[in-house]
Amino acid sequence: LERLYQVDKALASLSRQQQQLFELRFIEELPYADIASQLGIAPPLVRKRVQLLRSRLSADFFAGDVSQDRRSRVHS
């Protein structure tokens, strides 16, 4: 349940454009070329934005895990 909360929080923190990119790539599983066509940008830019989005979400989850670890240690 905690992980679901983290996912929801991370997605809510994204800009509308990042949310749209997340939906197209990870929910609809569209190829980069189709996403590029829908967004009116070049496929290499889509790839870069997806890479940045993954990095941001990974950092958000890693930060959440670190915070959880710290809380666990404090309360132990």
pLDDT given at position 61: 77
Rounded to two decimals, the pTM is 0.76
Pick among 1.20.1250.20, 3.40.390.10, 1.10.260.40, 1.10.10.10: CATH of 2-75: 1.10.10.10
Is there a contact between 12 and 62 (Cβ–Cβ < 8 Å)?
no
Q: Which one, of 42, 4, 46, lies nearest residue 24 by Cα?
A: 46
Domain boundaries, the chain: 2-75
Identify the pLDDT of residue 74. 52
Sequence-separated (6 or more) residues with CB below 8 Å from residue 18: 49, 53, 56
pLDDT at 26 (0 to 100): 96
Mean pLDDT by 10 residues, the chain (76 residues): 86 94 97 98 98 92 60 50
What residue ranges in 1-76 does DSSP mark as E strands? none
